[in-house]
């Protein structure tokens, strides 16, 4: 009798269990929550960045209006 058969025939053991790969432990929920918070903070940072870009464009528009007003004053319009 082979030793492999003797091991697999012992009570409490199965061939499928001995050949299965160990599975990864489940990811803790608090770790997933931390990842979600990081992504949320990244989204907030993008929104703030877009708001900053909008402010820059708004200031550029204001500067253009002031420049046009200055041109109008120079031309006497």
Does the structure show a pLDDT above 80 at 51? yes
Residues with Cβ < 8 Å from 8, sequence gap 6 or more? 14, 15, 18
Instruction: pLDDT band for 24, please (50, 70, 90 cuts).
Output: confident
Instruction: pLDDT band for 39, please (50, 70, 90 cuts).
Output: very high
Does the structure show a pLDDT above 70 at 6? no
Q: What is the pLDDT of residue 65?
A: 94
């Amino acid at each position: 009798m082979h030793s492999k058969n003797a091991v697999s025939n012992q009570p409490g053991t199965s061939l499928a269990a001995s050949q299965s790969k160990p599975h990864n432990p489940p990811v803790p929920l608090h770790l997933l929550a931390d990842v979600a918070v990081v992504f949320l903070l990244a989204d907030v940072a993008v929104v703030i960045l877009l708001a900053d870009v909008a402010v820059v464009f708004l200031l550029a528009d204001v500067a253009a209006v002031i420049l046009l007003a200055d041109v109008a004053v120079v031309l006497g319009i």
